[in-house]
Structure 1
């Protein structure tokens, strides 16, 4: 991903409240538009980088469980 796009996405949501961040995530998911995927990826990157090892493990378990169909 282009670093400028990553920076622009982060800059766009920096300072948002938790409600605003949630609205951004829910809107991106509910729209189902592929153009929103890079933004969600950047947000996940921020979450991952700021999560403890235990939180990362929990996310991996949730992801694995969600992908089992």
Structure 2
């Protein structure tokens, strides 16, 4: 069986509005299930590919801050 995870995630969220996307992200995080992490990664990849350099820098700064708390 050939499973394209990226495409499956994209198909699952296609046409979702902001509220639906937020619910998907929140549910994935709140569930704490490891199997949800790849889907969040696909959503992040979609964002990252279209983000401006300023947006990327802001995300990286925030991640650096959060990683520093570990």
TM-score (norm 2): 0.92
How big is the shift at 1:43? Answer: 0.2
Aligned residues: 68
CA RMSD across the alignment: 1.3
Moved over 4 A (4+): none
TM-score (norm 1): 0.94
Q: Secondary structure at the match of 1:62?
A: helix
Structure 2: stretches of 5+ with no match in the other structure: none
**Alignment-derived partner of residue 58 in structure 1:** 58
Structure 1: stretches of 5+ with no match in the other structure: none
